Amino acid sequence: MDFMEIGRVCLKTAGREAGKYCVIVNTVDKDFVLVTGPRAVTQVKRRKCNVRHLEPLPLKVEIKGDASDSDVLKELEKGGILEKLRLSKPSAEDIKRSEERRAVAEERKKAEEAMPKAEARKEVAAKPKKESKPKEPKSEKAAAKPKAAKPKKAAAEKQAE
């Protein structure tokens, strides 16, 4: 029996979300899985997580890979898992807000992927800068006044004698 399978309910044991429940949504590789709370229920946002930081529970929901948070929530309700874990069902407003956050995060990720890569940014930074013009004095009075020369120590000593 594979404990790190899609739909397995787990307890996070490390990180900022330690002590909170999550559901495995997808497997990334042998060491990492994609988990979600859903955020509206357990404050665990959808993220990649190391399997060593999860403690699998004997509870499982029937979901497809990469299921949305609303699908996971429906299955948690249907299976009675929210009651077993003593979690409260979020309001419709909380669910909507959570889905909006996820949509914004996906848009931000797409925008970052569309940005030029590090090499392209280096090329832009390596372009020669324009030559700057010599600075002119701010006022005509400042330009017209010659600066007084400071007397040297030897001249100051002769005057003192």
- Residue tagged 């009651």 (tokens): 83
Give the torsion sign (CA, 57, 60, 64, 70): negative
The CATH number of whichever domain residue 58 belongs to comes to: 2.30.30.30
Examine residue 144 and state whether it is found in any structural domain, yes or no.
no
pLDDT (tens digit, 9 = 90+) per residue, 99-137?
788 889 889 988 888 877 665 566 656 666 666 666 666
Tokens found for residue 160: 């003192």
Structure pTM? 0.63
d(CA 96, CA 110): 21
Residue 110 within any structural domain of the chain: yes
Domain total for the chain?
1
Q: Is residue 92 part of a domain?
A: yes
Q: Which of 59, 11, 4 is nearest to 34 (CA)?
A: 4
- Domain of 45? 8-118
Spatial contact of 38 and 69, defined as CB atoms under 8 Å apart: yes
In a domain, 81, yes or no: yes
- Which of 8-17, 20-29, 70-79, 146-155 has the weakest average pLDDT? 146-155
